[in-house]
Chain A
């Protein structure tokens, strides 16, 4: 009962008072509970989104997208935490990977806010609600992004600027690798003895 009470407090604090809440969650490192919260934050919006996509006429893709969303994002979280922890240590951060995993799981709580909008747009299929869904999705994603950066900042007790850098560096690295691979693959098609 006490654990449930603490969980409810943590959810409230993460949404309305994120910095101290995420610091505490990172220190306690209760990642089992955090992963449970993350899965709920992942599965419920994914189900709602799946039904919403069906109403748009993509009957076959609803279930497939839900499965891909849940599996893909969970794997991305685990891999992401590992990479972010490595970068954070390079930047002199003092925290644990388990702490970051727990904090980042809770940082996904805003995703739940998108659920009512998906469902309302399903029930009242007006163009207004359908147009609102992408806007709400963007807003919720931005909120989640900010909470992720706050989680890095609080878990590793570093400045906001460094937290942003830690978050952005792996993304830039992946982008750079993608561009590099793209250039290499295009170069394969260029004739070796080009006549210019």
Chain B
């Protein structure tokens, strides 16, 4: 009788010890992984400012990217951030805003690495330029450093279809970029000054981020696009490699020993995959927004014109 009970007591003690060992192992794993985390943040599609959120968690606009950058900054376990950029650019102010937040993230002591996907041009390059290191594939399309403001004059078309728009305006330039009349030389000068100012800001960001001379950047910043390998030769990219090379590079720069734990931000949830056709802003939508509600202008674009 006693031996039976002894056997069962030993058996139960072994089981309880096993469960305690499982808890101990799990907490050890959590603690060891705590300082080895690399955040991956995706910058996909046309860069546009603002915030929108659907019922099922589909988010668009740079506010979401900025929110993710803040989350990564506040997460003490995150030692480095890899920005996976797959964007032809977009709004210059939105790109600038994301760039400013990346600089803050770096100032908080975290390593930020850019990994370029198919394309990281113009506004996409603006964002990449402020990171610690840029990785691109040899065939990535990048560059397109420059700014433009699109303008279409539809006056003749309006006349043909009998549309005549009247405006009561508070000042001579309030309807600047209006498509129903030609641009005046004065307006052209105003807009050119704006574009030049934004261009100089862009060049300054690239020069500072890439540790290059402003004149050297201006030589490259004529709006042309580069392949990844051309960009590396020109000094616009540091390394040729994939996103996983960028993650390894981030781990090395951040001094992470062993295999890093990857934390992906902004992953699409199953609901958004089912209920939304795409989580990327469409170029056509952005262009149409330029003329929605007859607003004269939304934001200057840092994007290749023929995209």
Q: Name A residues whose Cβ lies closer than 8 Å to a Cβ of B.
A: 5, 8-9, 11-13, 44, 47-48, 51-52, 54-55, 112, 115-116, 118-119, 122-123
Whole-angstrom CA separation of A11 from B9 in the bound complex: 10
Q: Are A51 and B22 in contact (CB under 8 A)?
A: yes
Q: Are B19 and A44 in contact (CB under 8 A)?
A: yes
Instruction: For A41, give the chain B residue with the smallest CB separation.
Output: B15
Contacts A9-B1, A51-B26, A54-B26; is A119 near B18 (CB within 8 Å)?
yes
Instruction: For A54, give the chain B residue with the smallest CB separation.
Output: B26
Q: Are B21 and A8 in contact (CB under 8 A)?
A: no
Whole-angstrom CA separation of A47 from B11 in the bound complex: 18
Contacts A8-B9, A115-B15, A116-B14; is A48 near B4 (CB within 8 Å)?
no
A-B pairs, top 5 by smallest CB distance, nearest first, are A119-B18, A51-B22, A12-B4, A8-B5, A8-B8
Instruction: For B261, give the chain A residue with the smallest CB separation.
Output: A59
Chain B residues whose CB sits within 8 angstroms of the CB of A47 once the complex forms: 19, 22
Whole-angstrom CA separation of A31 from B1 in the bound complex: 24
Chain B residues whose CB sits within 8 angstroms of the CB of A13 once the complex forms: 4
Whole-angstrom CA separation of A162 from B12 in the bound complex: 34
Chain B residues whose CB sits within 8 angstroms of the CB of A9 once the complex forms: 1, 4-5
Instruction: For B1, give the chain A residue with the smallest CB separation.
Output: A9
Chain B residues whose CB sits within 8 angstroms of the CB of A123 once the complex forms: 21, 25
Q: Which of A5, A48, A112 contacts B22 (CB 8 A)?
A: A48
Q: Which of B1, B4, B15, B29 contacts A116 (CB 8 A)?
A: B15
Q: Which of B14, B22, B29 contacts A118 (CB 8 A)?
A: B22
A-contacting residues, B1-46, CB 8 Å: 1, 4-5, 7-9, 11-12, 14-16, 18-19, 21-23, 25-26, 29
Q: Are A122 and B9 in contact (CB under 8 A)?
A: no
Whole-angstrom CA separation of A112 from B19 in the bound complex: 11
Q: Are A116 and B5 in contact (CB under 8 A)?
A: no
Instruction: For B21, give the chain A residue with the smallest CB separation.
Output: A119
Chain A residues whose CB sits within 8 angstroms of the CB of B1 once the complex forms: 9
Interface centre among A13, A112, A116, A119 (most CB of B within 10 A): A119
Q: Which of B8, B9, B15, B26 contacts A44 (CB 8 A)?
A: B15
Q: Are A119 and B22 in contact (CB under 8 A)?
A: yes
Q: Which of B5, B11, B25 contacts A51 (CB 8 A)?
A: B25
Q: Are A112 and B8 in contact (CB under 8 A)?
A: no
Instruction: For B5, give the chain A residue with the smallest CB separation.
Output: A8
Q: Are B26 and A115 in contact (CB under 8 A)?
A: no
Q: Which of A8, A48, A55 contacts B19 (CB 8 A)?
A: A48
Q: Are B8 and A11 in contact (CB under 8 A)?
A: yes
Whole-angstrom CA separation of A52 from B1 in the bound complex: 36
Whole-angstrom CA separation of A11 from B12 in the bound complex: 10
Whole-angstrom CA separation of A51 from B25 in the bound complex: 9
Whole-angstrom CA separation of A122 from B26 in the bound complex: 9
Q: Are B22 and A8 in contact (CB under 8 A)?
A: no
Q: Are A115 and B7 in contact (CB under 8 A)?
A: no
Q: Which of B4, B19, B29 contacts A115 (CB 8 A)?
A: B19
Whole-angstrom CA separation of A73 from B167 in the bound complex: 73
Q: How far is the CB of B126 from chain A (nearest CB, A)?
A: 35
Q: Are B18 and A48 in contact (CB under 8 A)?
A: yes
Q: Are B5 and A122 in contact (CB under 8 A)?
A: no
Whole-angstrom CA separation of A94 from B252 in the bound complex: 72
Whole-angstrom CA separation of A44 from B16 in the bound complex: 8
Q: How far is the CB of B57 from chain A (nearest CB, A)?
A: 16
Whole-angstrom CA separation of A116 from B17 in the bound complex: 9
22 A-B residue contacts at CB 8 Å?
A: A8-B8, A9-B5, A11-B8, A11-B11, A12-B4, A12-B8, A44-B15, A47-B19, A48-B18, A48-B19, A51-B25, A51-B26, A52-B22, A54-B26, A55-B29, A112-B11, A112-B15, A118-B18, A118-B22, A122-B22, A123-B21, A123-B25
